[in-house]
Amino acid sequence: MFAYTKRLGRELQELKNSPSVGISVFQAEDFRLWLIDIEVIDNNPIYIGKKFRLQFRFTQSYPIEAPEVQFIQSYGRPIPVHPHIYSNGHICLDVLGSGWSPIQTVASVSMSIQSMLTGNDKNERPPDDARYVASAPISPKQSRFAYHDDTV
């Protein structure tokens, strides 16, 4: 068994046994791809009553290397409208790139994204959404995001 599978096995058990409010495992049948559902737990009018689906892709380098994380449209789950979330589901968030640390977990990343949504008061996409989506790589990890606006 690889070290990353042991780590992910522990994380999965924790997510199932002690889930955070508004975060649940939809699918985690292997150690390559997990689907996590999140919802904003306050009364943010932009997201009230909506659930979103995150896709986590892992490599054998996890947790040294960050997983690939993005929103996907699935089973009626839309991609949230947010100034740091592109319409293709790519998320501009430092903990998914240069701010990654092996201490992060699927739960902590999900909570960071949930918090990012909770604090948002702008019902808009990033200003360069159309340009980015037209030329974006398939994997958000191949993008070089500029983390310059932490007010949303």
Residue 67: CATH number of its domain: 3.10.110.10
Domain of residue 87 covers 3-142
Cβ(109)–Cβ(100) below 8 Å: no
Q: Quick check: 73 and 51 in contact, CB under 8 A? A: no
> Model-level pTM greater than 0.75?
yes
Q: Is residue 81 part of a domain?
A: yes
The Cα 145–Cα 84 span in angstroms is 10
Please indicate, yes or no, if residue 74 is contained in any of the structural domains: yes
**Could you tell me if residue 86 is inside a domain?**
yes
- Asked if the model's pLDDT at residue 62 lies above 60, the reply is yes
Distance CA 56, CA 67 (A): 6
Within-domain flag for 24: yes
Distance spanning both ends of the chain, measured CA to CA: 40
In a domain, 137, yes or no: yes
Number of domains in the chain: 1
Asked whether residue 128 is assigned to any structural domain, the reply reads yes
Residue 123 lies in a domain: yes
Tally the C-alpha atoms within 13 A of residue 4's C-alpha that lie toward its C-beta: 17
Mark whether 92 is an active-site residue. yes
Residues 104 and 101: their CA atoms lie apart, in Å, by 6
Residue 147 has pLDDT above 60, yes or no: no
pLDDT in tens, 7-61: 999 999 999 999 999 999 999 999 999 999 999 988 899 999 899 999 999 999 9
From the list 23, 35, 92, 109, the catalytic residue is: 92
Question: Is residue 152 pLDDT above 60, yes or no?
Answer: no
**Residue 100 belongs to a domain:** yes
